[in-house]
Amino acid sequence: MPNKKRIDELSALIDQTYRLALELDQTMAAYLLSMASLEVAETIEGKKCKKGKRSNLVTHPPLQ
């Protein structure tokens, strides 16, 4: 697993950027950042599923 401190930093940066994208009504950017957030969260939790399946871990609500 990559360095935990660096992964936590990445998670915080993604979260800040996600919130800014929502504030600026950039829904595609927010969607892509939510996918990145999910990948990082799975790495942190060690729940990376095999064969491309995702865990039930969700870090941001779906965009409406």
Mean pLDDT per 10-residue section of the chain, whose length is 64 residues: 83 95 96 93 72 51 58
**Residue 33 included in any domain:** yes
Residue 50: predicted pLDDT: 45
Where do we find the tokens 């942190």?
A: 44
60-to-22, 40, 46 alpha-carbon distances in Å: 11, 12, 18
Give the pLDDT score at 59: 59
Residue 9 maps to a domain: yes
- Enter the pTM of the model: 0.66
How high is the pLDDT of residue 11?
A: 92
Residue 60 falls inside a structural domain: no
Cα gap 63→48, rounded to integer Å: 23
The answer to whether residue 62 sits within a structural domain is: no
Per-residue model confidence (pLDDT) at position 51:
44
In a domain, 57, yes or no: no
Is the residue at 11 inside a domain? yes
Which residue range is the domain that position 39 belongs to? Answer: 4-52
In a domain, 59, yes or no: no
